[in-house]
Amino acid sequence: MDKKTIVVVGAGKGMGNHIAEMFGKNDFRIVLMARNQTSLNVYTKEFTEKGMEAYGIAADASSTDSLTEAFEEVKTKFGGVDVLVYNTCILEGGKPSELSSAELMRHYQVDVASALHSVLQVLPEMRAKKKGTILFTGGGLALYPMPEFTCVSINKAALRALAITLNTELKDEGIFTGVVTIMGNIAPNTAYDPADIAKEYWRLYTERKDTEIVFK
């Protein structure tokens, strides 16, 4: 049987690569997406040296065209996607009175709209197979918004709503959607160690029970 494929949109040393490694250890083919191909090459080499099958495809989450092209490449090379993880967010501060509507929409495209766009790239085949998993990286600002991080607060709340509504719509079709809501700052060797948080993505995938896991 061919390996299952996980696509992580938003690869990097933070959550993205730790999620990828968790699935790679369980014999998934890893496809990493991020803007910088040079960084992706480094990441894939690291995974390959650990005995995992890994590939990097450059994609810009601010551009739906870029994401479409990247997912088309995935389909051409590897077929369908079994697990999609959307792990991208513009982590910039800003109070509401200091923001323009254009700035808010720039953030929203990356943080939420492109998450939906990524889902729509993999959904037709998941529906055809009647199985698949979609996971989002959420944040505590969705539950406790802060004026100093208005865009992140608004968009993490929207992403959380997207996860919940998608799961409600798709669960009877065999497709599970979940979100890990991370209540603190991610950093190794802390209470929010990304290696520990990555286990919760695997738990969502294997248990397919709770739509949301709040990591405190």
Give the architecture (CATH level 2) of 5-215.
3-Layer(aba) Sandwich (3.40)
Neighbours of 207 (CB within 10 A): 11
- CA dist 133 → 32, 179, 188, 204, 206 (Å): 16, 11, 27, 9, 10
State pLDDT tens for residues 5-41: 999 999 999 999 999 999 999 999 999 999 999 999 9
Q: How far apart are CA 129 and CA 114, in angstroms?
A: 23
Give, in order, the Cα–Cα distances in Å from 190 to each of 12, 22, 180: 18, 18, 17
Residues 76 and 29: their CA atoms lie apart, in Å, by 15
Report pTM.
Answer: 0.97
Res 1 pLDDT > 60: no
Tokens of 75: 């389909």
Q: Quick one: which of 184, 100, 109, 136 has its CA closest to 16? A: 136
CA distance 5 to 212: 22
Q: What is the arithmetic mean of pLDDT over 29-56?
A: 98
- For the beta sheet containing 54-58, the strands, ordered from the edge strand earlier in sequence to the opposite edge, are 54-58, 29-34, 5-9, 83-86, 132-139, 175-182, 212-215
pLDDT at residue 2, as a whole number: 82
